[in-house]
Structure 1
Amino acid sequence: MDVSVILPEECISHIISNTSPRDACRSSMVSPHFKSAADSDYVWESFLPTDYQQIISNLVSPSSSLSSLSKKDLYLHLCHNPILINNGTMSFSLEKESGKKCYMVGARGLTVVWGETPAYWIWPSLPESRFSEVCELNYVWWLNVKGTIDTKILSPNTTYAVYFVFSSAKSNHGLQTRPIELSVHFEGSEGPQRRRVFLNPPEDMPRLTPDRGDGWSEIDMGGFFNENGDDGTVVSTLFDFDQFNIKRGFIVEGIEFRPRNG
């Protein structure tokens, strides 16, 4: 028996809205009646974050085209096209499978020690970056880059991974001879766990910087569980305090927070 003949479209939409974006897409192939229900704004509004309108209102360049999209098209747009918010210092997107929030804090939103000293860091614009400026390491002994994010803007009950997003400049030094330290922890917590990795591993070591497919590489800095989305701050740091090892030649795009898969 064809349930689409028995149930009105509104009932089918309500049922599908309690599944997942993937299930909704599959349901749309069952029949024309199911497609109409599965593609409805009612269904896809339920997959968007409850505060998506507030987030979009913080766009650097407000776009009327977003407001004209159907809720399904808006969802898919946010999955594939990160939008710039917070005066261009942060980007927002959605994880396609779940609809959970992803944020990247761009270089201008990070705390970069000596970042405003041209002898140590410069701020070029690169066409492959989503941000108007990135941060290129020119010359330092002590390396300290920190990003923070408020947990209340993230998806609750979600395990997040934190990624340092960067690329290597044509000329680099000190990135193969000594690992840098990474840490991710809640502000105020004691004894953050630290990882030691090479930004540019020697040839006899496996590479820990997979290509993202967008011209940048990333390193997994660690992760955390955002239980209820309560007020709190997560601190992510990349540092090396060896004053005898000169470092130069990598470009920081940002630090990304996105749901961990698997």
Structure 2
Amino acid sequence: MDFTRILPEECLCLIISLTSPADACRSAMVCPALRSAADSDAVWEKFLPCDYKSIILESSSSATLVSMGKKELYFCLFSLPILIQNDTMSFQLEKWSGKKCYMLGARELTIIWGDTPSYWTWTSQPDSRFPEVAELRFVWWLEVKGTIETRNLSPNTKYAAYLVFKLKSSGATGFKDRPVGLNVSVNGIASSQARRVSLDYEDEPRHVRERGDGWMEVEMGEFLNEYGDDGTVDFILKEIEGYVKRGLIIEGIELRPKDVGS
């Protein structure tokens, strides 16, 4: 018996909405009778974060985004990040799960001496999603910190934090064979997995990797956002050994769900 001919579309929508975005797409492809339900706004709104409306209203492209159908919006949000918080943060969906991804741009980070032009400069990069990135000119003490509230992240989700950066091809000093400290803390409790990693790819090919957007990334640590209540997560890059460091370009710190896929 073909249940698609018996159940009303509202029931089909409810059933499909209890699966996943990938399953909804498969349903639309393999069963023409389910296509209308599988592509409906009622289904795809369930896959969007419950606060998606307030998030996209922070974007300069909000007028375009709010006019989209829910499936189109979902595909748009995993295909390209949107800028929010006056273009200092970006938001994106993880493709297969619909969980939230954020990047804290350099302007959203606390950079020690970041407003001192002799130590750091703020410049634009054609391959950056943000209007400005931070370029290290000269410091002895390197410390960068980012913070996000756990309620902004997807609950019951393991996240990893990544420093997104470049080392200038000429003029980078103090990073070759010299690891930096990377750590993640939740509600002030530092992770037991604090790490020291060189940002030079030749030193750490297992940890430093090239992204598809032309930047490099290194994992800072991971954490479980169990409930998404009113807590905070801090991400820290620190190197305070007494030697000169220069040539590091920071785009931001990205948070992505870990261990998800099709």
Question: Normalising by structure 2, what TM-score?
Answer: 0.95
1:223 alignment counterpart: 222
Change (3 A) 1:75 1:145: same
The one-letter amino acid paired with 1:196 is R
Change (3 A) 1:190 1:38: closer
Q: Secondary structure at 1:199's aligned position in 2?
A: coil
2:257 alignment counterpart: 259
CA distance in structure 2 between the aligned counterparts of 1:137 and 1:206, rounded to whole angstroms: 23
Q: Secondary structure at 2:29's aligned position in 1?
A: coil
2:237 alignment counterpart: 238
Q: Tell me if 1:75 matches 2:74.
A: yes
Q: Which moved more, 1:184-193 or 1:21-30?
A: 184-193
2:88 alignment counterpart: 89
Whether the 8 Å contact between 1:185 and 1:192 is mirrored in structure 2 is no
Q: Secondary structure at 2:145's aligned position in 1?
A: strand
Whether the 8 Å contact between 2:183 and 2:191 is mirrored in structure 1 is no
1:177 alignment counterpart: 177
The 5-angstrom pairing of residues 1-262 of structure 1 reads 1-59=1-59, 61-171=60-170, 172-189=172-189, 193-202=193-202, 206-243=205-242, 245-261=243-259
The one-letter amino acid paired with 2:232 is T
The one-letter amino acid paired with 1:16 is I
CA distance in structure 1 between the aligned counterparts of 2:158 and 2:136, rounded to whole angstroms: 31
Change (3 A) 1:202 1:130: closer
Whether the 8 Å contact between 2:89 and 2:102 is mirrored in structure 1 is yes
Deviation at 1:142? 0.8
Deviation at 1:170? 2.3
Whether the 8 Å contact between 1:108 and 1:134 is mirrored in structure 2 is yes
The one-letter amino acid paired with 1:240 is E
CA distance in structure 2 between the aligned counterparts of 1:145 and 1:239, rounded to whole angstroms: 7
Q: Which moved more, 1:63-72 or 1:95-104?
A: 63-72
Q: Secondary structure at 1:258's aligned position in 2?
A: strand
Whether the 8 Å contact between 1:21 and 1:98 is mirrored in structure 2 is yes
Q: Secondary structure at 2:259's aligned position in 1?
A: coil
CA distance in structure 1 between the aligned counterparts of 2:5 and 2:190, rounded to whole angstroms: 60
Task: Point out where structure 2 has 5 or more consecutive residues left out of the alignment.
Answer: none
Q: Secondary structure at 1:164's aligned position in 2?
A: strand
C-alpha deviations, 1:120-146, integer Å up to 9, x for none? 111111111110000011111110011
Deviation at 1:151? 0.3
Whether the 8 Å contact between 1:175 and 1:201 is mirrored in structure 2 is no
Deviation at 1:201? 4.3
Deviation at 1:198? 0.4
C-alpha deviations, 1:155-179, integer Å up to 9, x for none? 1111110000011212211111310
